[in-house]
Amino acid sequence: MQFHSEVAPRTCVDIHTLEAVALAATRSAAVASYAWVGRYDQEAADAAATKAMREALAEAPGRGTVVIGEGEKDDAPMLFNGEIVGNGNGPDFDIAVDPLEGTSFCAKDLPGALATIAFGEPGTLWSPGPGFYMDKIVVPPQARDVIDLDDPPERTLVNVAKALGKKVSELRVVIMDKPRHKELITRVLQAGAAVQTPAGGDVGGSLAVLLPTLDVDLLLGVGGTPEGVMTAAAVGALGGGMLGRLAPQRAAEADAIRAAGMSLGRVYNCAELVSGDAFFVATGISGGSLLGRPRECAGMTTAESLLISRGEIRYITHTTFG
């Protein structure tokens, strides 16, 4: 599989080259922000991750467009929406980045902070415009055809349980522990399912749904739009199911979405959030069940990453010397 360049002479760069760039980018971001783990300085950690990821992406063969970064929400000066990355010698590609996903986990030295990126062919990554938040459902492949964002959670649980060959009481649902999810958590518990309620990090929560080794069955609730698009790259590559709908959390956000001519009611499926070939890469920053934290020892730095691409998950432990 190749991402093609539209410039003449037509060039092709093997997808593995872009995967290597993506891995270098998340690894650099993870190692840079690891220096800030447990230092209670979210901004410094975010800035270090973003700067390192941006420098690594400058080496990418081709011309990448940052379709979504965290720029607008976090007022970040780098890797903002529309920024062009890469050395220009190669294909066009789109990226969605979150150099430090789980900023507060990093600042407080809690598990779950990740450096993340998704690469897609040009025009394939959905742009949420001024929408910062979206309602999401993420399920494994077996349940991809039974989800509906308009269903009440009780019905979703029944349908997903059936598709997974389980009872509702055997389901475990990831829902971020946010005030907006109080009622949702109560209803899921009353329906008989168990919940896992991390303080944040719905990319990691969604990955856990997709990975057979981690004991969760679906993710529900409202999280960030950048995180939603990156999640969709991973979900789509593995054939899982995902639905999303903009869910503004403030009147100004809703107004901006309407002013941009976007629909507040529209439900996007995974193939609409990421509409072509794409891959997803993450590197661990603060450790946890998904990926360990970077380790430095005797002049060597080791980082743990995963790459999700076209039906496979690869775990990469990478050690650099010097």
Ligand X SMILES: O=P(O)(O)OC[C@H]1O[C@](O)(COP(=O)(O)O)[C@@H](O)[C@@H]1O
Instruction: Give residue for tokens 């220096």.
Output: 35
Q: Which is nearer to Mn ion, 200 or 240 (CB)?
A: 200
Separation between Cα atoms, residue 188 and residue 193, nearest integer Å = 6
Q: Which is nearer to Mn ion, 101 or 277 (CB)?
A: 101
Task: Report CA Rg, the chain.
Answer: 19
Residues at the site binding ligand X, with contacts judged by CB under 6 A: 70, 98, 100-103, 178, 200-203, 223-224, 227
- Strand stretches in the chain, DSSP E: 2-4, 12-14, 63-68, 84-85, 92-101, 114-120, 133-139, 172-174, 194-196, 218-224, 241-246, 268-269, 278-284, 295-297, 300-309, 312-321
Q: Which is nearer to Mn ion, 98 or 121 (CB)?
A: 98
Instruction: Give the residue nearest to ligand X (CB).
Output: 200
Q: Which residues are annotated as a binding site for Mn(2+)?
A: 46, 70, 98, 101, 227
For residue 292, the 8-state DSSP code is P
Q: Which residues are annotated as a binding site?
A: 46, 70, 98, 101, 227
Site membership for Mn ion, residue 101 (CB under 5 A): yes
- DSSP, collapsed to helix, strand or coil, labels residue 43 as helix
Name residue 224's amino acid: G
Site membership for Mn ion, residue 202 (CB under 5 A): no
Beta carbons of 147 and 139 less than 8 angstroms apart: yes
Separation between Cα atoms, residue 142 and residue 138, nearest integer Å = 12
The nearest distance, CB 206 to Mn ion, in angstroms, is 12
Site membership for Mn ion, residue 304 (CB under 5 A): no
The nearest distance, CB 241 to ligand X, in angstroms, is 18
The nearest distance, CB 313 to ligand X, in angstroms, is 20
The nearest distance, CB 202 to ligand X, in angstroms, is 4
Site membership for Mn ion, residue 121 (CB under 5 A): no
Site membership for Mn ion, residue 72 (CB under 5 A): no
Angle at which helix 15-34 crosses helix 42-57, to 10 degrees, equals: 150
Using CB distances below 5 to 8 A depending on partner kind, what does residue 202 bind out of Mn ion, ligand X, none? ligand X
Contacts with Mn ion, residue ranges (CB under 5 A): 98, 101
